[in-house]
Amino acid sequence: MILSLFRKDPNKDAADALYAAALEQARTPAFYLNYGVADTVEGRFELASLHVYLLLRRLKGAGDETKKLAQMLLDTFFSDMDGVLRELGVGDLSVARKIRGLAEAFFGRVAAYEAAMAEEADQGALTDALARNVYGDADPSAAAALADYARRSAAALAEQPIGRIKSGIANFAAPVEQATENG
């Protein structure tokens, strides 16, 4: 009984590996150079959020068996955001409030992206959601390309066996190397 307290949880290891894969993909230079995403804390948050969402979408599609892994992935994401805020110098008293704001922003994006990725959704809905969230006031001309990338990544993740993803291995689609009006 007591030894079970010291056993590693395979879901925790898988969640850490999936989050690392999402961050690695979100840091791909093509998003900043070719898709016109701002290389700022906010731009990086948006791309990390998009990739974590894509993983959660795949896990949700696998039924109840992946709920714990999905929750651990979320926990890992927000734990990392907590660490980033602290590294940026946000005081201890403000971190909880900032994390709450990031969580509201993240779940708002998840709702918008999920509605836009539904089969019955208007084809431009995902482009609009990404333009609003990722590009904000900047030129959103690359939003359509980012929407295409997100759909290709969702399809690529859907084709991967759930056992592979549950073990912490996930591959996203490659960003298209195309120049935008910004880059």
Convert the pLDDT of each residue in 7-27 to its tens digit. 677 789 999 999 999 999 999
* Tokens 């894509």, residue located: 54
- Is residue 59 situated within a structural domain? yes
Q: Is 4's pLDDT higher than 70? A: no
- Is residue 172 situated within a structural domain? no
pLDDT of residue 134: 95
Cα–Cα distance measured from residue 97 to residue 94, given in angstroms and rounded to the nearest whole number = 5
Q: What is the number of structural domains in the chain?
A: 1
Domain that holds residue 139: 10-166
Q: Is 59's pLDDT higher than 80? A: yes
- Is residue 85 situated within a structural domain? yes
Q: How many residues does the chain have?
A: 183
Q: Is 171's pLDDT higher than 50? A: yes
Banded pLDDT at 182 (limits 50, 70, 90): very low
Q: What is the CA radius of gyration of the chain?
A: 17
Map residue 76 onto helix, strand or coil.
Answer: helix
pTM: 0.88
- Is residue 5 situated within a structural domain? no
Q: Is 167's pLDDT higher than 60? A: yes
- Is residue 119 situated within a structural domain? yes
- Is residue 179 situated within a structural domain? no
- Enter the DSSP assignment of 40: S
Contacts 24+ apart (CB under 8 A), 112-121: 113/50, 113/53, 113/57, 113/150, 114/53, 114/57, 117/57, 117/150, 117/151, 117/154
C-alpha distances (whole Å) from 174 to each of 77, 148, 157 are: 22, 11, 12
pLDDT of residue 6: 62
For residues 134 and 87, the model is more confident at 134
| Residue ranges in the chain assigned as alpha helix (H) | 10-26, 29-33, 41-60, 67-87, 92-117, 125-130, 143-159, 162-166
Query: What are the tens digits of pLDDT across the range 109-153?
Result: 999 999 999 988 888 999 999 999 999 877 778 899 999 999 999
- Is residue 155 situated within a structural domain? yes
- Is residue 96 situated within a structural domain? yes
